[in-house]
Amino acid sequence: MGQLATCYLQNIITQFSGPCCVSSVAHAVALQGLHQPSRCHQPSLYCSASPSPLSSSQLSQPVPNQPLQHFASLWKNCCAVPNMHSFGYRANALLTFGITLLALMCGMASFSDNINSPSPSAHVQVLNINWFQKQPKGNDEVSMTMNISADLQSLFTWNTKQVFVFLAAEYETPKNSLNQISLWDGIIPSKEHAKFWIHTSNKYRFIDQGRNLRGKEFNLTMHWHVMPKTGKMSADKIVMPGYRLPEEYR
Amino acid sequence: MGWIGDTVDSIKSIQIRQLLTQAVSLGMIVTSALIIWKALMCITGSESPVVVVLSGSMEPGFKRGDILFLHMNKEPIRAGEIVVFNVDGREIPIVHRVIKVHERQDGEVDILTKGDNNYGDDRLLYAQGQLWLQRHHIMGRAVGFLPYVGWVTIIMTEKPIIKYILIGALGLLVITSKD
């Protein structure tokens, strides 16, 4: 019982290396012999699988004693080890099996996300520049009203918990090779809400590091981050180029 | 009288061997855990590859007790990514989303973060007068997610009695187990 953790690793190795579906008796016995000295026994996995091919193949032969002998030797090799049916071993086997199954299911759920090939669409319209000015500290700041519409339904799979979507203004200045400023974001909890249309002014302040925004061309990029119920997170974006700020403060 | 002495000796030697094997197996558990942790550190490049979410500031994405897998590499940090960062004068790292990035020509970067569930950005959480996070504050970015498992850690840190009971029980089992 104390070696649960080390046994867990060993159990995983033995489970994946084959004895779950034992085909020939000799193979099974050899495996049992091999495993006897080890400290991790899993009676349920080994014993249930091995006798069945034996009885079906051997019973058709005229000598009736043989299968019984084989069975006895199997029993001796496999189950007559002291302490085999103790609570500790059963708990160990159950725990190992449970955790392995759970991990496998999580892995499969995460992997199944790769099969989905989404085709989202987005459209943003800048309706109005509400105001555009220089802050006392010298940085340009702009406020605008936008129309955002998007269809992200194809991003949702059965392993999707939520999709985080945000719209960022991206531009280059002489000082900075990249500026990304989030203007609006939202959490989409389910597929039904994934096709939306929103009329909003920028939720976060659009402030430059410097005074470069007059007449600045910028991209509006719709980013989304898919959060799975379990497993790997994924992200992608749609870049919408060709937006321009006014030449003068207003 | 010789056979009594022999028996006592054999019993003694068995106990010492048992003790030794138990000590070795216990050592194996501890060292294999350490090996796995250090290997993860090497692979992910992050000084703590697995973190537990302690607060609800990223709900509904990450709840308290969820586990995040971190990854750290040279790739630039971009808006929208979920990063784990340290703030000077704050012991516990924070997991929040990047909302603004200003990257200079030489690769230096200014980052602003915000929790999905928070109303405002994180400038209130940063050190006094700090407006931006720099690269060296970032411990890693979250790449994977496993729900609920972190509750074990949370319960153990908040209720140390449970931790001691668990350690005591395991130790007792190791000592008393015969095989």
Active site residue: B46, B66, B96, B137, which one?
Answer: B96
Closest C-alpha to A95, from A30, A185, A5, A155: A5
- Mean pLDDT check: name the lowest of A224-228, B140-144, B169-173: B169-173
Distance from CA of A250 to the nearest CA of B (A): 24
Are residues A233 and B170, on separate chains, in Cβ contact within 8 Å? no
pLDDT digits (tens, 9 = 90+) for B46-76: 888 888 888 888 888 888 889 888 988 888 8
pLDDT digits (tens, 9 = 90+) for B74-101: 888 899 899 999 888 888 888 999 999 9
Q: Annotated catalytic, B57? A: yes
CATH of domain A121-244: 2.60.40
Closest C-alpha to B73, from B141, B18, B174: B141
B115/B99 Cα distance (integer angstroms): 9
pLDDT of residue A66: 56
Mean pLDDT within B6-11: 73
Mutate to test the interface with B, among A6, A84, A111, A180 (most CBs of B within 10 A): A180
Task: Classify domain B50-148 at the CATH topology level.
Answer: Umud Fragment, subunit A (2.10.109)
Contact of A230 with chain B, judged by CB distance below 8 Å, is answered with yes
pLDDT tens by residue, chain A, 250 residues: 334 444 444 444 444 333 333 333 333 333 343 344 444 444 433 333 333 443 333 334 444 455 555 555 554 454 444 455 778 788 889 999 999 999 899 888 888 888 888 888 999 999 989 989 888 888 899 999 999 999 999 999 888 888 999 999 999 998 889 999 999 999 998 889 999 999 999 888 899 988 888 888 999 999 999 888 888 888 899 999 988 888 888 8
- Of residues B137 and B174, the one with the higher pLDDT is B137
**Chain B, nearest residue to A169 by Cα:** B100
Residue partners of A197: CB distance under 8 A and separation at least 6: A147, A148, A149
Q: Which residues of A touch B179 (CB under 8 A)?
A: 39, 83
Cβ distance A221 to A238 under 8 Å?
yes
Mean pLDDT within B135-164: 88
Helices (H), A80-214: 87-112
pLDDT digits (tens, 9 = 90+) for A5-56: 444 444 444 443 333 333 333 333 333 433 444 444 444 333 333 334 433 3
> ipTM greater than 0.85, yes or no?
no
Q: Annotated catalytic, B179? A: no
User: What are the structural domain ranges in chain A?
Assistant: 2-78, 121-244
Cβ distance B134 to B73 under 8 Å?
no
pLDDT of residue A234: 86
The rounded mean pLDDT for chain B is 86
pLDDT of residue A151: 92
Active site residue: B46, B57, B66, B137, which one?
Answer: B57
